[in-house]
Structure 1
Amino acid sequence: MIYKQHYLNKTQDPLLTEVCYYNQLDDDQLDQLLNPGIIEPSSHPLFILAKDRILRAIEHQEKIIVCGDYDADGICSTSILVKTLRDLGAKVGYYIPHRFDEGYGLSLTTVNKALEKGYSLFILVDNGVSAFEALEKLNQEHVDSIILDHHEITEKISCSILIHPDVIEKQYQYSCGSALAYMLSLHLKPNPYLCSLAAIATIADVMDLWGYNRSLIQEGLMHMNHNDYPSLRALTDKTDALDELGVAFQIVPKINAIGRMNDDVTVHALVEYFCSEDRQHIMLKAEQIKAINEKRKSVNSTMMNKTSSALSDPHAVVIIDDPDFHEGIVGITAGQLSRKTKKPVIVLAHKDHSYKGSLRAPLGYDLRELLKDSLKYTLRYGGHALAAGIEIAENQYELFKKSVYTSTDGLTFSPSERLTIRFSSELYTIESYTRLMTYKPFGQGFELPEVEIDQALVISTTRLKNGYKWQVDVDGTMVDILCFNQCDETQFDKKQISCSGRLGLNNFRGKVSFSIVAESWT
């Protein structure tokens, strides 16, 4: 535990001190904040080797295939390399597996089909370190493979060139697949637009915002706002400058919706969208992408309405299944239920003689450790402490449930409480908050804490189209509280309000004031 006085001595800024204390930053991270510098992209010899192999393939007119993944990082990293290689005149194709029919990673089936079509250089982005069967086939056929992946290496990788955060310089240790792809693209044909794609993917993949990632996101946002790229601006509802929060809420969900829904716009069409320079095509496709995201919201809302029993479920781990659940949305539903119940939640779609779904847990849990006695009943399980994917055979499902309940119902859990900073007119002034914003980007590893207010006096109330707004007095400071969920009529009529949520600034007719988007009520 690092104490507040240490941060105050370093920063001489009470509000920044609170944020540093919340995140428990070490001295190296503090130095990155207080003495920021631009970290240049890596020039590690592995990037040079990869560049040389790619240029040799182009020179000899070899066919190159880029193999990606169906999430935002996989789509962006595929787009980065496909656009770069096309601009270089390469014979390049690409493939992203179907989320439901094929699952994650490069398969042996895809390798065999690509080899039949004459591809002689495989570039794997945001996947590869666990594609053992596919890589073995490529080695047998003496076909070169380049892997740019950031997932955990569990076994020795047999490929021609492996570019991974574990094997390059320390300042790139938090790089996602798109960041690695972007750094490779800089050695081939620099394009600032691709920096913005890499920044979006870094935000989407919730990577730690230290080392190169701080510079990458700052530069990517700068290019995005300065150049107003049609393919990115068309995905937002904002007309002003985008920051990391705007990207996370406006752009990332729309990209991920395509992989989740796999609807009229496929992940392959999304790669073409990001590679296109045809404004008319971009505008038309953007409307389709936004429509699919709205459909995703509707499907999730329907699924949430079916899960009301979870709120009163007596078990330590909540398990819910339904044949009508959408396999691509179960992770979102599980996350929302976990936040509401403050328990680990498993949401499963029952289809084709198996149960496929997602697990989510509050801070303080470790899902693999929690379910270690029950994993023997699963066909597939993968993920990390707070989120995972799972598949269970139909004839093993009841055994799995019984095992989970038996092994967890008697345990006592202490999930970590999300800390907040108490709002006070002394700590939070327009000047101090504006100064804090100069330390952007905020995100994983450097989170902006939620702000808490206690028994604030309600001055006025307003019903909004999709929620409520209160103007309250906090120590003489007027604050607008906005609520778009978890609200009811009784809260609307309250004379005093206690809540926590995300703080921001309003600028109305030149008057700047604070607002809080409420996330929880006390």
Structure 2
Amino acid sequence: MEKRWSIKENPESEIEAELSAFDDIGPVLGRLLALRGVRNSEEARTFFNPSLSDLHNPFLMKDMQEAVDRIQKAISAKEKILVYGDYDVDGTTSVALVYSFLRQFVPEISYYIPDRYEEGYGISYKAIDMAVEENTGLIIALDCGIKAVEKIEYAREKGVDFIICDHHTPGDVLPKAAACLDPKRPDCSYPEKNLSGCGVGFKMLQALCQQQDIDSESLFQYLDLVVVSIASDVVPIIGENRILADMGLMKLNRNPGVGLKSIIRVSGMAGRELTISDIIFKIGPRINAAGRIESGKDAVALLVSEDENKAYGMSCTINECNETRKDLDRNITREALALLEDNVAQREKKTTVLFHPEWHKGVIGIVASRLTENYYRPTVVLTESKGMITGSARSVDGYDLYHAIEACQDLLENFGGHTYAAGLTLRPENINAFIEKFEKIVSETIRPEQLVPQIEVDAEIGLGDITVEFFQNLKRFRPYGPGNLKPVFVTRNVYDFGTSKVVGKEKEHLKLEMIESTSPKIIKGIAFGKGHLLEKIKQSQPFNICYTIEESLYDNHQPFQLMVKDINFREE
């Protein structure tokens, strides 16, 4: 599939000039800082040197005082507290964080993760009834609850208070909880709007520490849980999230909690430096697999464990769930792709919507992501569960999927999510109407260029610009993630040095050695899946490359290599 290369707009020249002079990093890296919203040298210092002292005052968040007061009241009155969260990574890490911290002060505290299949997403009546039976006075809901108006009212009538710690977009009416912590509330002036659910829980505990004069180090020891939530929930890693992610990665690499340490071990990553990508592709899926295949409670039990032997046993079980998840994912994706291949009419549409009553509910979100990668359309994958149709949706770059689904809410029983990912529930009789309306809404609101995969390019540079010093400064931009993606560069009119070759079992990859006409410097790179271009590259004609710069662990002469994302032969 052909891709568009889109070079980002130039930042303001005055800002770029000031940042280029910071630490003598030069114009290219100064541009990168400006593109990430850094406006001056002081902000550059903060960006390159994340510090917990730069975290925002948690009491800037609406209802924070009410939340802290209600927790203190529960502690003083020796009330039972239930920590409640969603079954995904953000929800389970949130519950593990708040439960682990509060159990130091609350004798009767427990946690609850709803069953994905029996209860579904969000607050459940079953959990509220259980809390009533057990004389629980306070439920702290994490990564969910901001739209649960009726259920919170039901709990209030039963004498159970809620504190909601959510980061999803609220509805028109807020629940009547003791406190609703959500930086996306229209009336909330908290500076960081894109915290993860676990991040909101962390801010609540930070406020409690401040008001109760509790040593913050007792909270910071759980930052490894926070970074796992940030990476897995794909929130922007800028501003406060960058501080939490950087400090959390440090904790994860130096001294992770018992549960995460055991996951790292079964993932085969013990002994090496972990990155955000390792969380996304190795740690997160294993935690998620518990809720997809068995129960999210198993993930929390592992994350709060203090016994290394028991934690390792639980990690092995969760690892088996992940293998089952991968098998389901592969099989259903194969079936879905076959359905699309056979559907000629589907190719003319601006959306992809597939329904199969027997597809496993736990993996349809992953399948939706796979289909989006293949066909590059806003995608919804639906299955049947308990007489209802439930689905997961994924978007393409730059298109607000949540608003498109919101426009179909007259056909839905429930929905929620973000710009690029959402979940929805509808009645079987509404499937066809939803497919038609979703296609209509998207067709009217999506731009043609949004249906073509795009590679956003940070800067155009020459191969001669890539020096060891440049690479060392580039590494200071880590950790990477949304809002601070790994910088992408373009170099035009490069040539094969004569030693490029194909590699891989099927000779499908291209190992490159390149030069420019203006420089004798040889730069090495790898282009996965581009082996078919070798013959054209060998014809001594110039070509253009789009790439990131990665660390090379096996070359003493060149400590970096180019990870080539795309190659074209267009004359510029």
TM range (shorter): 0.7 to 0.9
Deviations 1:48-78 (A, max 9, x none): 6544543443344321111111121111110
**1: CA distance, partners of 2:556 / 2:141:** 50
- 2:365 matched to 1:310? no
Distance in 2 (alpha carbons) for counterparts of 1:294 and 1:467: 26
Q: Provide the C-alpha distance between the structure 1 equivalents of 2:515 and 2:73, rounded to a whole number of angstroms.
A: 66
- Residue of 330, 341, 346 corresponding to 1:301: 330
For 2:4, the equivalent position in structure 1 comes to none
Structure 1 residues 339 and 519, CA, compared in 2 at 3 Å: closer, same or farther? Answer: farther
* Structure 1 residues 376 and 474: alpha-carbon distance in aligned structure 2, compared to 1, 3 A threshold: farther
Residues 255, 3 of structure 1: CA spacing in aligned structure 2 closer, same or farther, 3 A cutoff? same
Structure-2 residue corresponding to 1:348: 382
Q: Which residue of 2 aligns with 1:279?
A: 308
Select 2:523's aligned residue among 478, 481, 485.
Answer: 478
Q: 1:308 to 1:351 in 2, by over 3 A?
A: same
**Displacement of 1:43:** 4.9
Cα distance in 2 for residues equivalent to 1:132 and 1:297: 36
- 1:419 aligned to which of 456, 466, 472: 456
Distance 1:144 1:325, change over 3 A: closer
1:506 Cα offset (Å):
0.9
Deviation digits for residues 211-261 of structure 1 (CA, Å, limit 9, x no counterpart):
3222222221222222244422332333222233332333222222322x2
Q: Work out the CA distance in 2 between the residues paired with 1:388 and 1:214.
A: 24
Paired AA for residue 47 in structure 2: L
After superposition, residues 473-512 of structure 1 pair within 5 angstroms as 473-475=514-516, 476-481=521-526, 483=528, 487=529, 490-491=532-533, 495=537, 500-508=546-554, 510-512=556-558
1:183 aligns with 2:183: no
Q: 2:481 aligned with 1:443, yes or no?
A: yes
Structure 2 partner of 1:156: 174
Match of 1:68 in 2: 85
Equivalent residue number for residue 209 of structure 1: 237
User: Relative to structure 2, which stretch is displaced further, 85-94 or 452-461?
Assistant: 452-461
Question: Which whole-Å CA distance do the structure 1 matches of 2:234 and 2:58 have between them?
Answer: 24
CA contact (8 A) 1:503 1:517 kept: yes
Could you tell me which runs of 5 or more consecutive residues in structure 1 were left unpaired when the two chains were aligned. Answer: none
Q: Secondary structure at the match of 2:263?
A: coil
**Larger mean Cα displacement after TM superposition, 455-464 or 334-343:** 455-464
Please give the alpha-carbon distance, in whole angstroms, between the structure 2 residues aligned to 1:4 and 1:245: 31
**What code does the residue aligned with 2:532 have?**
T
Q: Deviations over 1:287-310 (max 9, x none)?
A: 222232233222222222221453
Instruction: Give the secondary structure class of the aligned counterpart of 1:391.
Output: strand
Give the alignment partner of residue 18 of structure 2, picking from 3, 10, 19: 10
1:248 and 2:277 equivalent? no
Deviation at 1:509, TM superposition (A): 6.2
Return closer, same or farther for 1:352/1:107 CA change in 2, 3 Å cut-off.
closer
Are the counterparts in 1 of residues 196 and 230 from structure 2 also a CA contact under 8 Å? yes
Residue deviations 1:437-483, cap 9 Å, x none?
A: 21333222222233456665262332259974513324333323152
**Cα contact 1:67–1:96 (8 A) shared by 2:** yes
| Residue identity matched to 1:418 | I
- After TM superposition, the score normalised by the length of structure 1 is 0.87
Q: Which residue of 1 aligns with 2:417?
A: 383
The 2-side partners of 1:84 and 1:407 are apart by 45
Distance 1:404 1:60, change over 3 A: closer
Q: 1:426 deviation in Å? A: 2.9
Shift of 1:515: 3.2
Q: Retained in 1: the 8 A contact 2:488–2:547?
A: yes
Q: Greater CA deviation, 452-461 or 474-483? A: 452-461
Aligned match of 1:44 in 55, 59, 74? 59
- How far apart in 1 are the matches of 2:304 and 2:390? 33
TM-score computed with the length of structure 2 as normaliser? 0.80
In structure 2, how many angstroms separate the alpha carbons of the residues matched to 1:98 and 1:318?
A: 28
The match for 1:290 is 319
The CA deviation string for residues 120-141 of structure 1, in whole angstroms up to 9 with x for no partner, is 1111112222121222123223
2-structure distance, mates of 1:444, 1:64: 35
Cα distance in structure 1, aligned partners of 2:389 and 2:105: 45
Letter in 1 for 2:513: V
- Counterpart of 2:79 in structure 1: which amino acid? E
Say yes or no: does 1:258 pair with 2:290: yes
Task: Give the secondary structure class of the aligned counterpart of 1:329.
Answer: helix
CA distance in 2, matches of 1:22, 1:424: 19
What residue number does 2:5 align with? none
Map 1:99-138; keep pairs closer than 5 Å. 99-138=116-155
CA contact (8 A) 1:257 1:296 kept: yes
2:433 paired residue among 396, 399, 409: 399
Moved more, 30-39 or 139-148: 30-39
After TM superposition, the structure 1 stretch with the greater mean CA deviation from structure 2, 461-470 or 64-73, is 461-470
Pick closer, same or farther for the CA change 1:253–1:499 going to 2, 3 Å: farther
Greater relative contact order, per chain length (Cα 8 Å cut-off, separation 6+): 2
Q: CA RMSD in A?
A: 3.3
Distance in 1 (alpha carbons) for counterparts of 2:461 and 2:326: 32
Query: Which residue of 2 is the match for residue 366 of structure 1?
Result: 400
Give 3-state SS (helix, strand or coil) of 1:122's partner: strand
Q: CA deviation at 1:405?
A: 4.7
- Alignment-derived partner of residue 199 in structure 1: 227
CA contact (8 A) 2:471 2:560 kept: no
Write the distance in 2 (CA, Å) between the matches of 1:161 and 1:136.
13
